[in-house]
Structure 1
Amino acid sequence: MIKNIVYDLGNVLVTFDPHSFLNELIQSKEKEQKIYDFYFKSDKWILYDQGIYSTKDLKEMGIQMFPELRKEIEIVLDLWIEYVKPIPENIECLSFFSNYQQFIISDIPESNYLYLKTNYDFLNQVNGGIFSYQEKIVKPNKKMFTRLLEKYKIKAHECVFIDDKLENVQAAQSLGFYGIHLKHPLTLKKQLEEFLHEM
């Protein structure tokens, strides 16, 4: 019996599209691509999620590599968190499925977590969560999932985990979680309803 619904954040409950926010913040495709490649085609953003690098660290590394892009790098790293927004239809799931315990497991830097916590109330609607910047690890590391089980004293076979990345779903499934690979954010409610009905 499923007792717990466990959500990822990015592209499940909130938006996360680096190309989109870079495109809005930088009015040059060439500059946008340089910044995207530097931060997102390397392990820098992963280490940011882990709490190993701070926003200040990322700024300094980027400016050292691309001094001519100082202004753009500072704008991106100061403002990107404002482009991570709740997906209204999916936030409604927290109320719709309120007869289940609900949790979050997310790869997220501290700055983004604090921004979401300060500006929106949906994080107060869940029963708890595991966040990468606190744990110093990221999915698909299985410790992210075992930490949830240990902290909240819940059982893997009573949980369904939803993520937009298949490798994260598979990591959870290897520990006994049920899993839903969410390929499109707006199918969340439908997929969850169908899964729970089948159970």
Structure 2
Amino acid sequence: MIRTVIFDIGNVLAGFAWHEYYEKLGFDAAMADRLGRATVLSGDWNEYDRGCMSDEAIVSLFVENDPEIEAEIRQAVSSITGIMTHYGYAVDWVKELKRKGYRVLVLSNISRKILQECWLALDFLPYMDGGILSFQDKLLKPMPE
């Protein structure tokens, strides 16, 4: 019998709309792609989510990925409010599952910066019964731990 539902956050309960976010900052599609390769699509983004390094150390890794666009990288990640988008159904979905007796958890790779700066898109979190956010436990899924 299923008693617990475990959700990821990105593109399940909230959108991870990095490309659109970079374009809203004024970068054209080609530069948004380039910024993506240096940041969110790089393995270094995992370290951001793991939460073991300072923001400045992570930004330095992003810059190493494409030093020619250092200024653009720094601008793109100085504030990331808006990189996550609100899914209007998330809160109601979580509440409905809880009303039906399910325990509802979250298991997601997410950085402290996203949690702090994108809180409005993550409004379902207070309704969760618990879970793991990678930066809090210093672990990334799918690590066995």
Equivalent residue for 1:125?
127
Equivalent residue for 2:109?
107
Contact map agreement 2:80 2:117 (CA 8 A) in 1: no
Residue identity matched to 2:138: K
Aligned length: 142
Aligned: 1:13 with 2:13: yes
Question: Highest relative contact order (Cα 8 Å, sep 6+), 1 or 2?
Answer: 2
RMSD value, Cα? 2.3
Tell me, which stretches of 5 or more residues in structure 1 are unaligned?
Answer: 144-199
- Runs (4 or more) in structure 1 with deviation over 4 Å come to 116-120
Deviations 1:125-166 (A, max 9, x none): 1111101112222111132xxxxxxxxxxxxxxxxxxxxxxx
Give 1 or 2: higher helix fraction: 1
Residue identity matched to 2:11: N
TM-score by length of 2: 0.81
C-alpha separation between the residues in 1 aligned to 2:107 and 2:3? 16
Equivalent residue for 2:143?
141
C-alpha separation between the residues in 1 aligned to 2:61 and 2:47? 13
Question: Whose radius of gyration is greater, 1 or 2?
Answer: 1
- Residue 63 of structure 1 deviates from its aligned partner by 4.3
TM-score by length of 1: 0.62
Equivalent residue for 1:54?
54
- Residue 11 of structure 1 deviates from its aligned partner by 0.5
Aligned-residue identity in percent:
23
Tell me, which stretches of 5 or more residues in structure 2 are unaligned?
Answer: none
